[in-house]
Amino acid sequence: MPEKPLPPSMGGAAELLDISFDVLTATRVEAQMPVTPDHHQPFGQLHGGVSVVLAESAASVGGYLAAPEGQTAVGVEINANHVRAVSEGTVYAVAEPLHVGSRTHVWDVKIRDTADRLVCVSRCTLAVVTLSNV
């Protein structure tokens, strides 16, 4: 169970890519996503940008849960290293905070395949903002 209510919508890009969330806490978010032709780049492999959407989705939900009541966290910078190609199956993201401050958060996200091999490692910086400003 999340430590505070989830945002009104978990849809958008996450819904389009069929991302689902398994663990939702302020210190760990676990998500998964199928890898289908809809997730591929032109050469039949998981698109790096799709991996980044998965990473930022997991980090942003964690940032929201870690932010004080009435605030959320939104992405301001993300980087990703793609270390293994995936063409099918499911990938699993684990996001954990490296820094949770009053103005910024930094989240580490590791994406692995079904054999637990590292596919992508990402770091996402989030800005903490008042919900009315989003």
Q: Where are the domains of the chain?
A: 12-133
CATH match for 12-133 among 3.40.50.720, 3.10.129.10, 3.40.1350.10, 3.30.1050.10: 3.10.129.10
List, by residue number, the catalytic residues: 56
> Does 11 or 19 have the greater pLDDT score?
19
Query: Model pTM?
Result: 0.93
**Mean of the per-residue pLDDT values for the chain?**
93
What mean pLDDT comes out for the span 55-68? 96
Write down the pLDDT at residue 1. 41
Look at residue 33 and give its three-state secondary structure: strand
Which residues, in sequence order, are bridge partners of residue 82?
120
Burial (CB count <10 Å: 0-12, 13-18, 19+), residue 46: buried
Burial (CB count <10 Å: 0-12, 13-18, 19+), residue 111: buried
Which residue type occupies 75? G
Phi then psi dihedrals of residue 33, to 5 deg: -150, 135
Write down the pLDDT at residue 4. 72
